[in-house]
Amino acid sequence: MRLTLRYEGAVLPDDAARDLTKEFEAQVNLVVFQLGCKFDDRVSVIVRTQENYHQASGAAEWSGGQYDGRIQIAVPPSGKADDYVRQTFAHEFVHACLARRGPWPSWFHEGMAQKISGKTLGAQEREVLTQMNKADQLPTLAQLGGGWARLGSRQAAVAYALALAAAQVLYQDQQDYGVRNLLNNPERLPAIAERIDTRLRESLR
């Protein structure tokens, strides 16, 4: 067990908590296999209702999960892990994994978290990026710095879409082995990010 699950007793019965822990552990195995993270301690996971999650975490309205040294996640009243909960947990666990591999920029964190949790870039998201690129308004990856919790819904949507598109290009260029090698050589990332910026602008014309 690499997780310590904490929950509000009135929200999640014990049997549901056990089932949820098994679901989360399965996601942990997938992420660890891809990124090779090592954990000497257990990751704390706090499960809340949607309402209590936003009140306790102070997360943005568009957020369904958060990692700040521990994973906080909202679950349905049933406590069961649907596809959204599983994907959200995997997303946040990628953040926990990368945090143990050193400092990484926000775009890399969010792009990798989306890619590995199974999210794909939708046609509408790609169209937004294409139009921004044609208008010369598409930010570079280096400009996607700082915390994203401060972003409004539209700004966040663009930032996440661009980060995911960048992660997809990264895997196309580097493949699984190259990405794992990059995690051991973070000094290579700035040069790789510049190449990704160029590739993105060419593909979004």
CATH number at residue 72: 3.40.30.160
- Which parts of the chain sit beneath pLDDT 50? none
Same domain? For 112 and 183 the reply is yes
Domain containing 78: what range?
3-99
What region does 136 belong to: left with phi over 0, alpha with psi -120 to 50, or beta?
Answer: left
The per-residue pLDDT for 193 is 96
- Considering only CA atoms, give the Rg of the chain: 17
The pLDDT of residue 2: 77
User: What local confidence, expressed as pLDDT, does residue 189 receive?
Assistant: 96
Closest CA to 29 of 133, 139, 116: 116
- pTM of the entire structure? 0.89
Domain boundary at 49, 68, 99, which? 99
Burial 131-141 (b: 16+ CB within 10 A, else e): ebbeeeebeeb
Dihedral of the CA atoms 53, 95, 159, 146 (nearest 10)? Answer: 90
Residues 45 and 123 both lie in one domain? no
Cα separation, 43 vs 1, in Å, equals 10
Q: Let me know whether 50 and 92 are in one domain.
A: yes
Position 13 scores a pLDDT of: 75
Q: Specify the pLDDT at position 197.
A: 97
Q: Using the 3D structure, point to which of 99, 127, 142 is the last residue of a domain.
A: 99
Q: Residue 30 CB: number of other CB atoms within 10 A? A: 16
Q: What total number of domains does the chain contain?
A: 2
Residue that is last in its domain, among 41, 72, 99: 99
Q: Are residues 62 and 17 part of one domain?
A: yes
Burial state string for 83-109 with b = 16 or more CB within 10 A and e = fewer than 16: eebbbbbbbbbbbbbbbeeeebbebbb
If asked whether residues 114 and 81 sit together in one domain, one would say no
CA distance 112 to 180: 12
**In whole angstroms, what is the distance from residue 149 CA to residue 142 CA?**
17
Q: Give residue-wise pLDDT tens across range 57-73.
A: 776 666 778 898 899 88
Q: Residue 176: which residues within 8 A CB-CB, separation 6 or more?
A: 34
110 and 91 fall within a common domain: no
